[in-house]
Chain A
Amino acid sequence: EAQVTQNPRYLITVTGKKLTVTCSQNMNHEYMSWYRQDPGLGLRQIYYSMNVEVTDKGDVPEGYKVSRKEKRNFPLILESPSPNQTSLYFCATRRGGRGYEQYFGPGTRLTVT
């Protein structure tokens, strides 16, 4: 079954404590990305990766890091989380090239206190 998995699904943490949200896909897709979803602001792209070792900033990259060492994994790293990073995060993947639909993970709800 084609899947995008994220872990953890829920996380409550404190300001400044480094955390990583993992994302893994089994569809052999080249393209992966991270979004955050906030009320009234919709979905905003944080970072994306077009293939292994190729990453680029999206619309709201400040405060986040990513890495793409393997095709199937694309972790999102918050080195020093702050309360304004409290949000619902989604990983997504699609085939390379233009116009293909994206497949989304189930989401990670992060609360930073």
Chain B
Amino acid sequence: GDSVTQMEGPVTLSEEAFLTINCTYTATGYPSLFWYVQYPGEGLQLLLKATKADDKGSNKGFEATYRKETTSFHLEKGSVQVSDSAVYFCALPEGQNFVFGPGTRLSVLP
């Protein structure tokens, strides 16, 4: 079946540092790809998505580009803030389900 692999972390950065969280996938065809974020004590929220190859999703300063050549959808942000501390999940649809990566915990220190 389809699968998602992402770096598990935890990742600890200083405020204003550059962030990359790697995500690679295995899938049949070219599914839509998603990044979700889970802030402490909350449910998952959609952060960004891309629906086809070479699409770039962006939101709140985060970006990710759908790369079919490398089957990747890496999440990046140029300058993280303390408020970005959360767990980030890469995901793709499989049938009627979603396949989620294990999540990457990000801690940003002031």
Contacts and interface: CB of A to CB of B under 8 A. Distances in A.
Give the one of B32, B41, B97 with max A CB within 10 A: B97
A31 B100 contact: no
A42 B101 contact: yes
A104 B45 contact: yes
**Interface of chain A: mostly helix, strand, loop or mixed:** strand
A17 to B, nearest CB: 25
Query: Chain A interface: which size bin?
Result: 20 to 34
Contacts, number: 44
B42 A106 contact: yes
Contacts of B45: 104
Given A42-B102, A98-B93, A102-B98, A107 B42 contact: yes
A48 B43 contact: no
Nearest to A91: B43
Given A42-B102, A43-B89, A103 B46 contact: yes
Given A42-B102, A48-B96, A99 B89 contact: no
Nearest to B96: A48
Contacts of A105: 43
A50 interface: yes
A43 B4 CA distance: 12
Interface of A: 4, 31, 33, 42-43, 45, 48, 50, 56, 58-59, 90, 92, 98-99, 101-107
12 contacts: A33-B97, A42-B100, A43-B100, A48-B96, A90-B43, A99-B31, A101-B46, A102-B98, A104-B45, A105-B43, A106-B43, A107-B43
Interface of B: 31-32, 34, 36, 41-46, 49, 51, 89, 93, 96-98, 100-103
